[in-house]
Amino acid sequence: KAGVTQTPRYLIKTRGQQVTLSCSPISGHRSVSWYQQTPGQGLQFLFEYFSETQRNKGNFPGRFSGRQFSNSRSEMNVSTLELGDSALYLCASSFDSANTGELFFGEGSRLTVL
């Protein structure tokens, strides 16, 4: 079956702009999580959505937001971009949010902020 699909794969923005990233989970998966990967920081948890509801949130400013649609597809938005937002943004889906649930990651969206 198709894996997790993230679009766009690469994008370049300038400071102050906003960006929307999209994630289509594996069919049947209801949980979608977002992570930010930067050198030296590993994967930082942004938020998790389950059945259109945000269930968990990481320690990121309010400029980072997300949503999930009824078909489980998810989007994340970053407003007023800063240079430090340059990173690989990874989306992961799972069937549920049980702690033994394996996460399936997409290839990521690499954002460069100039």
Partner 1 sequence: DQQVKQNSPSLSVQEGRISILNCDYTNSMFDYFLWYKKYPAEGPTFLISISSIKDKNEDGRFTVFLNKSAKHLSLHIVPSQPGDSAVYFCAASDTTTSGTYKYIFGTGTRLKVLA
CA 100, distance to chain mean position in Å, is 20
- Compute, in degrees rounded to 10, the torsion defined by CA atoms 107, 29, 7, 84: -70
CB of 93 vs partner 1, minimal distance in Å:
11
Residues that bind partner 1 (CB under 8 A): 4, 33, 35, 40-45, 48, 50, 55-56, 58, 90, 92, 97-108
Q: Which is nearer to partner 1, 19 or 106 (CB)?
A: 106
Q: Which is nearer to partner 1, 40 or 62 (CB)?
A: 40
Q: Which is nearer to partner 1, 48 or 85 (CB)?
A: 48
What tokens appear for 110 in the block?
Answer: 């690499």
How many Cβ atoms sit within 10 Å of the Cβ of residue 43?
14
